[in-house]
Structure 1
Amino acid sequence: MRWCEQWPDRRFAVEGACGLCWSLAHVPSTLSARARLLATGGDRKTDATDALHVAQVAFFRHVLRPVVQEDQTTLLRLLTERRDDLVHERTRVLNRLHAVLRALPPGGAPTGVSADKAAALMKGIRPVTATDNCRRDMARDLLADLRKLDRRVKNNEAEMREAVAATRTTLTTLPCLGTVLAAEVIGHIGDVSRFPTDHHFASYTGSAPLDASSGNNVRHRINTGGNRALNSVLHTIAVC
Structure 2
Amino acid sequence: MEGARAVSMVVIGIDPHKSSHTAVAVDQLGRKLAQHTTKPDPDGLLRLRIWASKIAAGTQLLWAVEDGRGVAGALVRTLIGTGARVVWVPTRLMAAARASGRERGKSDPIDALAVARAALREPGLPTAHLDQTALDLRLLTDRREQLVRQRTAAINRLRWALHDIDPALDPAGALTRPARLAELTTALTALPPTVRRDLTLDLVTEIAALGTQITELEHRLSALVTPIAPNLLAIVGVSVITAAKIIGETAGITRFRSTAAYAAHTGTAPIPVWSSGKPQYRLNRGGNRQLNTCLHRIAITQLAHHPPARNYHDNWTRHHPHATTKAALRALKRHLANTIYHAQRADHTHQQHPQPHPA
TM score, norm. by length of structure 2: 0.59
Aligned with residue 186 of structure 1, among 217, 229, 247? 247
Does residue 1:11 correspond to 2:69, yes or no? no
> Conserved in 1, the CA contact under 8 Å of 2:89 and 2:118?
no
Aligned with residue 54 of structure 1, among 115, 132, 142? 115
Q: 1:149/1:106 Cα in 2 relative to 1: closer, same or farther (>3 Å)? A: closer
Q: CA deviation at 1:161?
A: 1.4
Q: CA deviation at 1:173?
A: 1.8
Q: CA deviation at 1:74?
A: 0.7
Q: CA deviation at 1:198?
A: 2.0
> Conserved in 1, the CA contact under 8 Å of 2:147 and 2:214?
yes
* Same amino acid, percent of matched pairs: 28
Structure 2 distance, partners of 1:223, 1:64, is: 17
Does residue 1:37 correspond to 2:99, yes or no? yes
Does residue 1:117 correspond to 2:175, yes or no? no
> Conserved in 1, the CA contact under 8 Å of 2:181 and 2:208?
no
> Conserved in 1, the CA contact under 8 Å of 2:86 and 2:127?
yes
Structure 2 distance, partners of 1:220, 1:14, is: 30
Structure 1 distance, partners of 2:269, 2:55, is: 44
Q: Write the letter of the residue equivalent to 1:146.
A: I
Q: CA deviation at 1:89?
A: 0.7
1:97-136 aligned at under 5 Å gives the runs: 97-105=158-166, 107-114=168-175, 115-125=178-188, 127=191, 133-136=194-197
Aligned residues: 234
Q: Write the letter of the residue equivalent to 2:286.
A: G
1:1-240 aligned at under 5 Å gives the runs: 1-5=53-57, 8-16=58-66, 18-20=76-78, 21=80, 22-30=83-91, 31-47=93-109, 49-105=110-166, 107-114=168-175, 115-125=178-188, 127=191, 133-165=194-226, 167-240=228-301
Q: Write the letter of the residue equivalent to 1:41.
A: E
Q: 1:37/1:197 Cα in 2 relative to 1: closer, same or farther (>3 Å)? A: same
Structure 2 distance, partners of 1:60, 1:238, is: 33
Q: 1:116/1:103 Cα in 2 relative to 1: closer, same or farther (>3 Å)? A: farther
Mean alpha-carbon deviation: is it higher for 71-80 or for 20-29?
20-29
Q: Which runs of 5+ in 2 are unaligned?
A: 1-52, 67-71, 302-359
Mean alpha-carbon deviation: is it higher for 10-19 or for 79-88?
10-19
Q: Report which of the two has the higher share of strand.
A: 2
> Conserved in 2, the CA contact under 8 Å of 1:205 and 1:230?
yes
Deviation string 1:91-121 (CA, Å, 9 cap, x unpaired) is 1111111221123335452322424324313
Mean alpha-carbon deviation: is it higher for 51-60 or for 80-89?
51-60
Structure 1 distance, partners of 2:170, 2:104, is: 57
SS in 2 for 1:12: strand
> Conserved in 2, the CA contact under 8 Å of 1:94 and 1:113?
no
Structure 2 distance, partners of 1:217, 1:63, is: 28
Structure 2 distance, partners of 1:200, 1:70, is: 19
Structure 2 distance, partners of 1:123, 1:27, is: 53
> Conserved in 2, the CA contact under 8 Å of 1:25 and 1:58?
no
Q: CA deviation at 1:229?
A: 1.1
> Conserved in 2, the CA contact under 8 Å of 1:209 and 1:221?
yes
Q: Write the letter of the residue equivalent to 1:223.
A: N
> Conserved in 1, the CA contact under 8 Å of 2:127 and 2:255?
no
Please tell me the root mean square deviation across aligned C-alpha atoms, in Å.
Answer: 2.4
Q: Write the letter of the residue equivalent to 1:32.
A: M
Q: 1:23/1:72 Cα in 2 relative to 1: closer, same or farther (>3 Å)? A: same
Mean alpha-carbon deviation: is it higher for 94-103 or for 143-152?
94-103
SS in 1 for 2:60: coil
Q: 1:10/1:121 Cα in 2 relative to 1: closer, same or farther (>3 Å)? A: closer
Return the structure number with greater relative CO, CA threshold 8 A, min gap 6. Answer: 1
> Conserved in 1, the CA contact under 8 Å of 2:65 and 2:89?
yes
Structure 1 distance, partners of 2:185, 2:165, is: 9
Deviation string 1:169-197 (CA, Å, 9 cap, x unpaired) is 52112222111001001001122233333
TM score, norm. by length of structure 1: 0.85
SS in 1 for 2:95: helix
